[in-house]
Structure 1
Amino acid sequence: MGLQEQVITEMKAAMKAKNTVALEALRAIKSALLLASTEKGASGGLSEADEIKLVQKLVKQRKDSATIFTEQGREDLAEPELAQAAIIEKFLPEQLSEADIEKAVVKAIDSIGASGMQDMGKVMGIVSKELAGQADGKTISSIVKAKLSS
């Protein structure tokens, strides 16, 4: 079952349960998928990798918004954003642990012979492509920085 069908099935369940937070999050996914598949230059359908990137983007937006609201002391606005992020994350592949990400980073560093921070972009490109959808870019970045600066 494709992502769009999954979202529609979940939306029906959320409507029956009168779960407004879940419904809002699922509508956001459906809307983003529809926009991406109909925008100029799109071939009509989205690949699984494109769908994962789209869902990751939605999760990141929600978490960034929640962070801003928390910094401003608006927990009442941050909580629904975090709840939506948790619902949207269900559509992502299982996330890797930091140890697994670290192994991929070390493997990439060894494969290209990276020696310092000037090679960070190369390493990030390799690791991000390899772990697409399975790890957050911020986590990958912090591990790459730590490995290259030591």
Structure 2
Amino acid sequence: MSIIERLKEEQKVAMRAKDKARLGTIRLALAAVKQLEVDGQKTLTNDEAIAVLTKMVKQRRDSISQYEAANRQDLADVEAAEVVVLQEFLPQPLTEEELAALIEQAMTDSGASSMQDMGKVMGLLKPQIQGRADMGAVSGLIRARLN
């Protein structure tokens, strides 16, 4: 079952359960997916849907840190609840060992030896880890290995 189909099924479940917070988050995710489909005039693939959900999680995490800095824990809690719901639809995150192995494999496959090769490594890794690891953190790990 694709992520979009799972979102639609879970939307029905949340409606029946009258879980307004969960329903609202799922509707936001479906609206974001639908907007991209309309804009691009195509149906999104599973990988593209994962990218949308990953972006939504990142936005909410940024909001949480800003709300906490402004002493608005009530708003931060709402965002944190949305992150929990969105993460249910994302693939399981990679462990540090799995991520290190993937980075090592990508560096070997691309023949990377300096910082100029970072784009090659990221290009190989992105499809494998999209939605399963923070790309910023992965970038930092690759930089450390190439230096």
- Identify if the C-alpha distance between structure 1 residues 37 and 75 changes in structure 2 by more than 3 Å, giving closer, same or farther: same
Counterpart CA distance in 2 for 1:108 and 1:128 is 10
> Offset of 1:81 from its aligned partner?
0.6
Counterpart CA distance in 2 for 1:92 and 1:63 is 15
| CA RMSD between the two structures | 1.7
**3-state DSSP class of the match of 1:21?**
helix
Identify the match of residue 119 of structure 2 among 105, 121, 134. 121
- The corresponding residue for 1:103 is 101
Whether 1:140 and 2:114 are equivalent positions in the alignment is no
Residues 3 and 50 of structure 2 are in contact (CA less than 8 Å); yes or no, is this contact kept in structure 1? Answer: no
- The corresponding residue for 1:31 is 31
- The corresponding residue for 2:41 is 42
Counterpart CA distance in 2 for 1:108 and 1:75 is 41
> Match for 1:31: what amino acid?
A
Aligned residues: 147
- Identify if the C-alpha distance between structure 1 residues 32 and 110 changes in structure 2 by more than 3 Å, giving closer, same or farther: same
TM-score norm. by structure 1 comes to 0.86
Counterpart CA distance in 2 for 1:107 and 1:17 is 45
> Offset of 1:121 from its aligned partner?
2.2
- Identify if the C-alpha distance between structure 1 residues 2 and 118 changes in structure 2 by more than 3 Å, giving closer, same or farther: closer
Show CA shifts across 1:87-126 (max 9, x none). Answer: 0111111111111111111111122222233322222221
Could you tell which deviates more after superposition, 64-73 or 79-88?
64-73
**3-state DSSP class of the match of 1:91?**
coil
Could you tell which deviates more after superposition, 63-72 or 115-124?
115-124
Residues 128 and 140 of structure 1 are in contact (CA less than 8 Å); yes or no, is this contact kept in structure 2? Answer: no
- The corresponding residue for 1:93 is 91
> Match for 2:119: what amino acid?
G
Counterpart CA distance in 2 for 1:122 and 1:2 is 29
Identify the match of residue 70 of structure 1 among 68, 71, 74. 68
Which consecutive segments of 4 or more residues in structure 1 shift more than 6 A? none
> Match for 2:5: what amino acid?
E
Whether 1:81 and 2:103 are equivalent positions in the alignment is no
Show CA shifts across 1:6-40 (max 9, x none). Answer: 2222123223333222112101111012111111x
